[in-house]
């Protein structure tokens, strides 16, 4: 493919790749804000370098080379964005309220489905369900979190080879290295990811009836402050993480005790709006405050497996709500959780 010097020409050819480049940059960086900036920089650099594109590689590989290098440079300037479980062992003190980390500490960010899907196909049609399933496996929060543990170039090699199915030669071209170096980095990355215990085969698709039923029961228990009903939905080894709180909990007993003590203390304190988070089941929690209004509290991602809920990732950051297209405040008569879930799913 030969690109002209016209700006509209490169924009037209690159536009269909914007969504997948956004997902790629999010996997690399762990932040949708940073990923959007990286994609914008990628498009600018593609336009600036359009005269150097000779068609020796595909346009897609060329764009991924630019985007990956943008991400690698960005990662050189800052530390990785972890989840609390990457920093230490689970807390054994569910009766002690964890301390929030300082504002300057950055954590992994969740991604709204609307941004990952880019609003549809380039032609404006319906997104292919099979493509969504394939994308979901590569943007689940547990997988993104595991990626952040890898050195940057290992992370890039794993994403390009195992998520995007690039050949070793294409990956070497993107990373400007040899295929031997790619294979070596990939081997080390695969070994570390394998130890993360992601249990991909057990995770249910959000569209499955069992997930809809679990989410409805979970939201109702949450709204009713019914800890016992909530506990019945959790696996014995459930993980609860709540950035920016550094403490996290593993196990039904500790997670339930913390939620019962500090979250589900009074019925009617929360209203929950079902949302798509990282192409998995999620909801936005609003908390009733002294002014009688419901205020943005947390963006939650729920991982549902065949044996029950295995993960609750609660991002206690009201600034995420606009990213998900949600208001910061709801009126007190907002719909109840079960009706919202029924309308959403």
What is the number of H-type helices and E-type strands within the chain?
14, 7
Pair 171, 211 in one domain: no
Q: In the 8-state DSSP scheme, what is residue 127?
A: P
341, 212 contact by CB (below 8 A): yes
- Looking at 194, 226, 242, the residue that finishes a domain is 194
Same domain, yes or no, for 183 and 299?
A: no
CATH classification of the domain holding 38? 1.20.140.160
Q: 100 and 133 in one domain?
A: yes
Largest CA distance in the chain: 65
Q: Are 160 and 219 contained in the same domain?
A: no
What's the CA gap between 143 and 116, in Å, rounded? 15
Residue 24: C-alpha distances to residues 271, 293, 307 (Å): 33, 38, 31
Same structural domain, 340 and 261: yes
CA distance 285 to 289: 13
CA dihedral 29, 31, 37, 39 (to 10 degrees): 60
Whether residues 136 and 157 share a domain: the answer is yes
DSSP-assigned states of every residue in 184-228? HHHHHHHHHHHTT---GGGBPPTTSHHHHHHHHHHHHHHHHT-HH
Q: What is the CATH number of the domain that holds 296?
A: 3.10.450.50
pLDDT by residue for the chain (345 residues), tens only, comes to 444 444 456 667 888 899 899 999 999 999 999 999 999 999 999 988 877 776 666 889 999 999 999 999 999 988 789 999 988 999 999 999 888 998 888 999 999 998 888 643 333 344 566 677 778 888 999 999 999 999 999 999 999 999 999 999 999 999 999 999 999 999 999 998 887 766 666 788 888 888 889 999 999 999 999 999 999 999 999 999 999 999 999 999 999 999 999 999 899 999 999 999 999 999 999 999 999 999 999 999 999 998 999 999 999 999 999 999 999 999 887 655 544 545 554
State the Cα–Cα distance between residues 143 and 303, nearest whole angstrom: 12
């Amino acid at each position: 493919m030969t690109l002209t010097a016209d700006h509209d020409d490169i924009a037209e050819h690159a536009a269909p790749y914007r969504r997948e480049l956004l997902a790629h940059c999010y996997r690399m960086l762990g932040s949708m804000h940073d990923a959007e900036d990286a994609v914008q920089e990628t498009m600018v650099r593609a336009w600036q370098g359009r005269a150097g594109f000779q068609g020796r590689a595909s346009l897609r590989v060329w764009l991924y080379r630019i985007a990956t290098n943008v991400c690698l440079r960005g990662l050189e300037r800052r530390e990785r964005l972890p989840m609390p479980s990457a920093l230490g062992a689970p807390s054994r003190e569910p009766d002690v309220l964890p301390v929030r980390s300082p504002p300057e500490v950055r954590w992994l960010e969740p991604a709204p489905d609307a941004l990952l899907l880019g609003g549809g196909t380039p032609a404006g049609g319906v997104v292919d369900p099979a493509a969504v399933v394939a994308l979901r496996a590569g943007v689940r929060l547990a997988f993104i979190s595991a990626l952040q543990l890898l050195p940057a170039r290992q992370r890039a090699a794993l994403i390009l080879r195992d998520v995007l199915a690039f050949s070793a030669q294409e990956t070497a071209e993107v990373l400007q290295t040899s295929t031997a170096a790619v294979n070596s980095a990939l081997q080390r990355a695969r070994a570390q990811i394998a130890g993360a215990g992601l249990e991909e085969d057990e995770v249910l698709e959000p569209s499955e009836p069992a997930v809809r039923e679990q989410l409805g029961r979970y939201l109702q228990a949450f709204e009713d402050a019914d800890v016992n009903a909530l506990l019945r939905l959790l696996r014995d080894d459930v993980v609860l993480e709540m950035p920016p709180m550094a403490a996290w909990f593993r196990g039904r007993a500790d997670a339930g005790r913390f939620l019962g003590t500090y979250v589900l203390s009074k019925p009617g304190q929360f209203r929950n709006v079902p949302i798509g988070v990282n192409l998995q089941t999620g909801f936005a929690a609003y908390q009733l405050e002294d002014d009688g209004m419901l205020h943005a509290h947390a963006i939650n991602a729920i991982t549902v497996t065949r044996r029950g809920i295995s993960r609750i990732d609660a991002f206690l950051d009201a600034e995420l709500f606009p990213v998900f297209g949600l208001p910061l405040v709801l009126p007190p008569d907002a719909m109840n959780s079960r009706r919202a879930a029924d309308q959403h799913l």
